[in-house]
Amino acid sequence: MTSEDFLKEIQAIGEKFLLKLQKLPKADPVEIVSFSVVLLFIATVLVLTIIACSCCCYSCCGCDGRPDPRHKKSRVRPAAR
């Protein structure tokens, strides 16, 4: 898939979404609830992704963006006999 095809696909999805939003005030209650559930699911996935990425970045790097030396991986060496 080329970048042009990807952009066209994203634009088509956006147009469908806007059309759905325009028709929402006249929709059945079941359709409104199902659309709300889908939006809630998408928002939840985005929020959890942001939280996971920020926690991962925070544990690897300090607030200043440099790696934290305390979280360096140490190599396990065999015990001497």
pLDDT of residue 37 exceeding 70: yes
- pLDDT over 70, % of the chain: 73
pLDDT tens-digit readout, 60-76: 665 555 555 555 566 77
Query: How far is the C-alpha of 29 from the C-alpha of 58, rounded, in Å?
Result: 43
pTM of the model: 0.54
Whether 61 and 68 have beta carbons less than 8 Å apart is answered as yes
Query: How far is the C-alpha of 48 from the C-alpha of 14, rounded, in Å?
Result: 22
